């Protein structure tokens, strides 16, 4: 289950931090009579009785006329996309209505509050506007109990020391829950893994960086997918991404492509988003590539001909879907790392993607 992201907005000095502390039942955020006490968004993972595991975000809000006011408001706006629910504290500020409208446009379920309302009452109303949780398997209907599934997981210099990355752990756990028989190997051992089996596996799931090599080693009748495509389906929208991948074919010299990464890991020389995808794109056309990492996602998407989003292993479904909506509204095609790689390596047919 993903944590519920709750973000509190309201005018400067209206009582946002007081409200946050009330909801949290503890002192998360500094309260003072001095306007502009909260500067950068304050985030904390907490357990809220009645809601469960949440991430509660206090913001600087709006209406701060000091030198940094506009920057603080920009940071507050960036807290809208990851929010599953917004609490808008109304205080009679002239911008209250504008923010109610912003939240509505972003399609974030919103609870309005006023000073002095009890935490219990606000929490009850938050629970009332939460969207129903879709609890679906990453592996969907690709596998069933008893199926052998081969997982190809390169452990190269990009892999973290001593552990597996989250999508691999999630898929592995899910296969165990679904009573499948997972067989893990590095790409170099795929041949041996396959020949150790009495029958072909029901599915091969690979890291998308080695799609091509894996595809060449497995029988054409064995279904093939990638960790990143499984995640893309669960967190984003595969149809939108497949449609977006078509735009790769029509990229022209001078076009701009936005690579959006949800995490802010240290860039590595073999980095997929910063190196591999741009290099493959540039084999097609002399495009320029911008990178947006973490919460940083451009307000204005109009300069871009294509957006390629990471697998979003650390980002919530809400954040990814908010970005997809923004891209669609701006008329900019959006796709995903795994699907872009499949398309760039000319093996999208193998994945059942019609481009
Ligand atoms: N009486 C009363 N005072 C409140 C209430 N909520 C906030 N205050 C007071 O209002 C002042 C501002 O409260 P904060 O919670 O820091 O407000 P904020 O919106 O987080 O302020 P900034 O971070 O500066 O934007 C403090 O002096 C609080 O004690 C309330 O419900 N009742
Ligand atoms: Mg505050």
Between CA 337 and CA 67 the distance in angstroms is 39
State the pLDDT at residue 245.
93
Atom 9 (ligand 1): residue with closest C-alpha? Answer: 15
Nearest CA to 49 among 137, 119, 147, 138?
A: 119
pLDDT (tens, 9 = 90+) of the chain, 355 residues, equals 678 999 999 999 999 999 999 999 999 999 999 999 999 999 999 999 989 999 999 999 999 998 898 999 999 999 999 999 999 999 999 999 999 999 999 999 999 999 999 999 999 999 999 987 766 788 988 899 999 999 999 998 878 889 998 889 999 999 999 999 999 999 999 999 999 999 999 999 999 889 889 999 999 999 999 898 888 888 888 889 989 999 999 999 999 999 999 877 665 555 888 999 999 999 999 999 999 988 789 989 999 999 999 888 778 888 999 999 999 999 999 999 989 988 998 888 777 665 5
**pLDDT reported for residue 280:** 95
Give exposure, 200-222, as e/b (b: 16+ Cβ within 10 Å). ebbbbbbbbbbbbebbebbeeee
The whole-angstrom separation of Cα 169 and Cα 166 is: 5
Residue 216's pLDDT is 93
Closest ligand (CA of 23): 1
Q: Measuring CA to CA, which residue among 3, 2, 1, 6 is closest to residue 79?
A: 6
Decide: 260 and 311 in contact? Cβ < 8 Å.
Answer: no
pLDDT at 136: 75
CA-closest residue to ligand 1 atom 16? 31
Ligand 2 (ion): which residues have CB within 5 A? 16-17, 37-38
- Enumerate domains of the chain plus CATH numbers: 4-129 (3.40.50.300), 148-229 (3.40.50.11420), 237-351 (3.40.50.11410)
Ligand 1 touching residue 36 (CB < 6 A): yes
pLDDT at 102: 96
Indicate the top mutation candidate among 7, 13, 39, 65 to test ligand 1's pocket, ranked by most ligand atoms within 8 A of CB: 13
């Amino acid at each position: 289950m993903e944590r519920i992201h709750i973000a509190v907005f309201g005018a400067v000095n209206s009582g946002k931090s007081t409200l946050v502390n009330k909801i949290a039942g503890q002192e998360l955020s500094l309260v003072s009579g001095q306007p502009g006490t909260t500067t950068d968004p304050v985030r904390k993972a907490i357990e809220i009785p009645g809601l469960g595991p949440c991430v509660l975000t206090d913001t600087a809000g709006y209406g701060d006329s000091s030198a940094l006011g506009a920057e603080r408001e920009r940071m507050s706006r960036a807290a809208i996309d990851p929010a599953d629910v917004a609490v808008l504290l109304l205080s009679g500020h002239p911008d209250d209505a504008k923010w109610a409208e912003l939240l509505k446009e972003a399609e974030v379920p919103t609870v309005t509050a006023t000073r002095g309302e009890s935490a219990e009452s606000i929490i009850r109303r938050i629970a009332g506007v939460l969207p129903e949780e879709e609890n679906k398997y990453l592996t969907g209907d690709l596998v069933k109990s008893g199926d052998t599934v081969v997982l190809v997981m390169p452990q190269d210099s990009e892999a973290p020391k001593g552990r597996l990355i989250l999508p691999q752990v999630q898929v592995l756990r899910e296969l165990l829950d679904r009573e499948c028989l997972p067989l893990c190997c590095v790409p170099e051992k795929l041949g041996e893994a396959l020949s150790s089996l009495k029958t072909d596996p029901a599915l091969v799931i690979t890291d998308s960086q080695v799609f091509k090599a894996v595809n060449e080693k497995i029988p054409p009748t064995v279904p093939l997918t990638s960790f990143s495509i499984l995640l893309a389906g669960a967190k984003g929208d595969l149809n939108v991404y497949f449609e977006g991948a078509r735009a790769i074919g029509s990229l022209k010299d001078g076009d701009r492509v936005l690579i959006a990464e949800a995490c802010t890991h240290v860039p590595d020389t073999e980095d997929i988003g910063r190196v591999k995808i741009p290099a493959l794109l540039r084999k097609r056309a002399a495009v320029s590539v911008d990178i947006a990492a973490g919460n940083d996602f451009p307000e204005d998407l109009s300069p871009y001909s294509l957006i390629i989003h990471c697998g979003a292993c650390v980002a919530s479904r809400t954040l990814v879907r908010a970005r997809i909506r923004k891209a669609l509204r701006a008329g900019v095609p959006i796709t995903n790392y795994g699907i872009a790689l499949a398309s760039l390596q000319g093996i999208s047919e193998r994945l059942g993607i019609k481009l």
